[in-house]
Structure 1
């Protein structure tokens, strides 16, 4: 007997379907014994419950196996990187062993499956029907394989029905199968949408990947809910006509709430269509969350009033949603509110290239991880909406502020203060597009001194799971505002090189911007990095200006300004040939920029120990 099958409840439901009445109000308007034409429309008559929960078990075990495989690969890679890191600390200049691949099969899988686009080179470049209509991106090869298997299994489950019986009994079985699978798929649909999804740090799979899976799980859930509804509709119309359908929706609460859930599902599916989602993303999120609550209520009441064994799955879904809200509130409150102190203070400065620099003074000291991001709340401009941004900078805890430097110098000529100050600031760079970012830029550009101050909150940090400390060579590609993802890595790696706690021996930052004025976005932070001890020995910066307004003259060997776009393939070939140890190539930028870097780096994955890491933010 399947552990998901409750004999008492199933027997009760079958009895209810046979007699047509119950104290809970089930089937108050139908007497199945008096009308055999409706016997397959209501209750569990014809429903293959044993088969339904067999496929539930199969699906559950498949998810478990895939999760364990991902966890095993993550643990193996984590151990491999740690061993590589520890082995070179004694003499970081001797890393020849780690420049080569130690297996053939893993680099091949990396090149042709995990890091490969579906076809040719296009992956994160959007399909633009027009400048205002974004039709989404193309999933990668590995994502496509997973999605095909997932869709095929759900299709097969809905087709494996008893076909050697009356057609209406088969339709009843389809009603039960599709309804069961729709309720089951709602669990991963909600889990994969959570920002605080525990699988993200456990498996170190990015939120972008889980968000892709969330969308496809939601599509399957919606389609199966529609099949469930139409199967009931078909048998009911056959047994009693459209009047019977109207009476059922009007007089039987379970079917009324079921229709609420189905209509909400359809609305979500239409609203989440890529052109609508991207055109009005912040509005989409607010409406999406509201309709999701209607969907949960409708499904819960539908299952509860029928006394169906899938009801505990709704308990799981609602519990996950409530725990997510709780953790988000805790994160917001912890970073932004502290006892009697005011909420976080936010200073927004207008910058060249229609960007803003956002500096947030936190209620508590905090040092974010390189590569992490936060969600920012600014009620002045967006009442309850939030927006994700990479953390571009946070002052070091052992770095005194300018005020402390001045006071210390005047008092005793000592540059270091008596106690290292704690960091309470993080800075972000936001390019003005639509919604919140456009409102921030417009308000700052029109304000005196081109800046304004308000209060708000942050939620996070999220991400930042990729450690680059075990690589002898690191090449960081940034396109435009994508520099915000890379600056903290540069700071961390240069400092770690000086302290001798990392394998890094060669660090290259490649940043592409349209105009030289955009360099102002990160100038104070880059100036600080360029003054760090040991920087000249390890760091080279290549700045590519795609639309220069004047002649570029760069005589520095460690910081070069170059007119035009980078020749990514030849640049990578030069750097990888002169590599030290294992190589990490990371990229953060627009879709076409990231696709170019991916295309250029893939051939090297099988030529040496090279890893490719991409930060996409393709929500």
Structure 2
């Protein structure tokens, strides 16, 4: 909760600070612009602002105007400050308030009236600015100040929009957890919402499987609900930069034309709104984002919103930069600004690196060279933040930047804190368990509690990969007297996992020890134990996330509850790796647990034979042959007359601990061939009783098939059907 308020406070500080920027002194703004009406023997060339700020006659003209038209003493101080800041920003001349006062005192006695100056004539004395001319620029200054305020208000509307979305999501998450409804009509309404809004992909039937365009762009389709949230966000951004502009024909000397006036206002508006999107984009990318807990949304969902916030911010920054560049070129001072105005250079460099960040963040780069993407992303972000500080240090909007800095460093502080809390540098045993997977067994702190479905970031201290940290599902955790044991089973793919697996192959018995850092736990716990019927679908190594759910529910299952696990995998060597865990799961009496193992790449063994694979056949001797291999069909899983597993367990066995003497053959739970996930899901929804939950983890195609099947059949149930997904997307 303290973390939640820290983030909220950071955003409020940003909003509050941002209100005190823009035109700080309308009087100073008007007097500064009016003073440029006369030719104070300063040629219009590169360094024009520089030469004006070094002219005491020009400065005295502007300062005298402040004294003439400021209504309060504090307005005079603000006017002086404005002129001082303008010379520092534009004219490369740093003056303090005392020096400005001395310049005014020394030259005010030489003041002449504006009527004494002929058009185009060089002026050698400070000029008293007439009221009519000043009023035009003052009106322009007040309009500009109102425009800046509108920009901040519209920018805050982005934050208000996200706050509303997160609030609604948090309320529904709370109601689902603590106030489940028993009203059938309400539950059927919830199913309709899931069918047409929250579950289906916005395009086709693929949510995790990417669509390939030109062999370069790989795009995943959000769900309809996610797409609606993103669409409304884009619409609000477009509206915010498109309305409430002063389109009258009056444009004082500040602007060359009406188009110039609109372009300047649009440039300022897009720049301000880009700033307001910055802290939200960074917050959504944080692992420790408190709204992950309050909404129950997975980290992937917030990463989706992070990418869209970042894209809108970059688009607005590009519009801001292009229009400002055009305005500078119209005034013939573009080269001067780049060479002499550090704020200008900072803004330009920040925009360039924002574009680089977007380019190197496309899915193809993330998926094929993740470590390169991540390193470049962090480096570019730091460069952008430094350049934005330079860009805004003189004229405001620093509140948004400091809010972003607080969130960014707060996130990294919490990552370090989680690592220290998990035990710091610990020793872990790595060992090969199958042809493409290895097990990690480590020990963390005693007070580190892990719930089913959670994961941790693991950093392995190997000289080739020590800088990498990757998330892995916690397969199982045991609480001991002095520490917690932590187990993970990881599939060898590319990068770090491939390097570790290849190294283990060179070690005796395929095992070694590493020093590791554990950062976690992360992730939400899906409360499937509150449902009457639960279907758990695991594809391949996805069993690591699903096993902890099934085991936890089996240990506390109540009469009338039913949990069905279907594990689809390519070959049986991974079954051997999970032999002990599967037996532990099946030995719970009264558990009403039904298990089906589907092998898709192996034909059934001959009668009386069981093929044993793995590194050591003796490790798998418990898979003893049976006289006849029994394949458990998916139809048996939904037989309402059979609420218990078809396993044999000795009588008198306490459910608190698995029995060591149970006579169980895993072969009776194996079926061969690829299962029809759609039929499995449809049969579960139609035949299961009470409230229903479906939990899925596996490859993208597997998860998408499950989701699509639920969408097709969810309204065939009279009771609520909830879907939980444990999946990682690039």
Paired with 2:238 and 2:289, the residues of 1 have a C-alpha distance of 27
The residue number in structure 2 matching 1:453 is 513
8 Å CA contact 1:45–1:172 kept in 2: the answer is no
The residue number in structure 2 matching 1:477 is 537
Q: 1:520 to 1:431 in 2, by over 3 A?
A: same
Q: TM-score, normalised by structure 2?
A: 0.71
8 Å CA contact 1:470–1:504 kept in 2: the answer is no
* From 267, 279, 286, the counterpart of 1:194: 286
8 Å CA contact 2:457–2:470 kept in 1: the answer is yes
Paired with 2:237 and 2:680, the residues of 1 have a C-alpha distance of 45
Paired with 2:217 and 2:475, the residues of 1 have a C-alpha distance of 27
* From 224, 239, 256, the counterpart of 2:331: 239
What is the CA-CA distance between 1:164 and the residue it aligns to? 4.3
Could you report, residue by residue, the CA deviation over 1:91-131 in whole angstroms, capped at 9, with x for unpaired residues? xxxxxx78x5544432211111011111331111123569x
The residue number in structure 1 matching 2:89 is 26
Give yes or no for the alignment of 1:489 onto 2:532: no
Q: Which runs of 4+ in 1 moved over 6 A?
A: 2-5
What is the CA-CA distance between 1:453 and the residue it aligns to? 1.0
The residue number in structure 1 matching 2:154 is 55
Could you report, residue by residue, the CA deviation over 1:445-485 in whole angstroms, capped at 9, with x for unpaired residues? 22221122110111111113311121011100111111111
Give yes or no for the alignment of 1:616 onto 2:715: no
The residue number in structure 2 matching 1:407 is none
Moved more, 484-493 or 244-253: 244-253
* From 566, 569, 577, the counterpart of 2:675: 566
The residue number in structure 2 matching 1:277 is 366
Paired with 1:214 and 1:201, the residues of 2 have a C-alpha distance of 17
Give yes or no for the alignment of 1:182 onto 2:278: no
SS of 1:322's equivalent in the other structure is helix
The residue number in structure 1 matching 2:630 is 554
User: Unaligned stretches of 5+ in structure 2?
Assistant: 1-14, 36-48, 54-82, 94-119, 123-136, 250-257, 607-628, 633-645, 648-667
Q: 1:14 to 1:383 in 2, by over 3 A?
A: farther
8 Å CA contact 1:46–1:170 kept in 2: the answer is no
Q: 1:51 to 1:365 in 2, by over 3 A?
A: closer
The residue number in structure 1 matching 2:440 is 358
Could you report, residue by residue, the CA deviation over 1:539-558 in whole angstroms, capped at 9, with x for unpaired residues? 11111111115538336735
Give yes or no for the alignment of 1:373 onto 2:465: no
Could you report, residue by residue, the CA deviation over 1:480-539 in whole angstroms, capped at 9, with x for unpaired residues? 111111000011011012xx4xx762111111111111213322222222233434xx11
Give yes or no for the alignment of 1:124 onto 2:203: no
The residue number in structure 2 matching 1:212 is 304
Moved more, 437-446 or 574-583: 574-583
Q: 1:458 to 1:46 in 2, by over 3 A?
A: same
What is the CA-CA distance between 1:78 and the residue it aligns to? 2.0
Report the aligned-residue RMSD: 2.8
Q: 1:227 to 1:524 in 2, by over 3 A?
A: same
What is the CA-CA distance between 1:68 and the residue it aligns to? 2.1
After TM superposition, the structure 1 = structure 2 runs for residues 4-153 of structure 1, keeping only pairs within 5 Å, are 6=19, 10-12=23-25, 15=28, 18=33, 22-24=83-85, 25-28=88-91, 48-81=147-180, 100=184, 102-128=186-212, 135-153=218-236
Moved more, 544-553 or 428-437: 544-553
The residue number in structure 1 matching 2:381 is 292
Give yes or no for the alignment of 1:264 onto 2:353: yes
What is the CA-CA distance between 1:44 and the residue it aligns to? 10
What is the CA-CA distance between 1:285 and the residue it aligns to? 1.1
Paired with 2:203 and 2:673, the residues of 1 have a C-alpha distance of 28
Which one scores higher on RCO, CA 8 angstroms, separation ≥ 6? Answer: 1
Paired with 1:301 and 1:55, the residues of 2 have a C-alpha distance of 24
Q: 1:155 to 1:504 in 2, by over 3 A?
A: farther
Larger radius of gyration: 2
The residue number in structure 1 matching 2:576 is 520
Give yes or no for the alignment of 1:463 onto 2:539: no
Paired with 2:406 and 2:380, the residues of 1 have a C-alpha distance of 17
8 Å CA contact 1:118–1:139 kept in 2: the answer is yes
8 Å CA contact 2:454–2:524 kept in 1: the answer is yes
SS of 2:521's equivalent in the other structure is strand
SS of 2:564's equivalent in the other structure is strand
Moved more, 215-224 or 345-354: 345-354
SS of 1:385's equivalent in the other structure is coil
Paired with 1:7 and 1:457, the residues of 2 have a C-alpha distance of 44
Paired with 1:578 and 1:44, the residues of 2 have a C-alpha distance of 70
User: Unaligned stretches of 5+ in structure 1?
Assistant: 85-96, 338-342, 398-419
Q: 1:550 to 1:108 in 2, by over 3 A?
A: closer
Paired with 1:171 and 1:14, the residues of 2 have a C-alpha distance of 23
8 Å CA contact 1:349–1:452 kept in 2: the answer is yes
What is the CA-CA distance between 1:263 and the residue it aligns to? 1.6
Give yes or no for the alignment of 1:589 onto 2:672: no
The residue number in structure 1 matching 2:338 is 249
Work out the number of aligned pairs and report it: 556
8 Å CA contact 1:378–1:455 kept in 2: the answer is yes
Paired with 2:221 and 2:279, the residues of 1 have a C-alpha distance of 25
* From 712, 718, 726, the counterpart of 1:603: 712
Q: 1:120 to 1:6 in 2, by over 3 A?
A: closer
Q: 1:322 to 1:44 in 2, by over 3 A?
A: farther
The residue number in structure 1 matching 2:474 is 391
SS of 1:60's equivalent in the other structure is helix
Could you report, residue by residue, the CA deviation over 1:58-94 in whole angstroms, capped at 9, with x for unpaired residues? 333322322222222222222223xx7xxxxxxxxxx
What is the CA-CA distance between 1:169 and the residue it aligns to? 0.6
Q: 1:104 to 1:330 in 2, by over 3 A?
A: same
8 Å CA contact 2:541–2:698 kept in 1: the answer is yes
Q: 1:504 to 1:116 in 2, by over 3 A?
A: farther
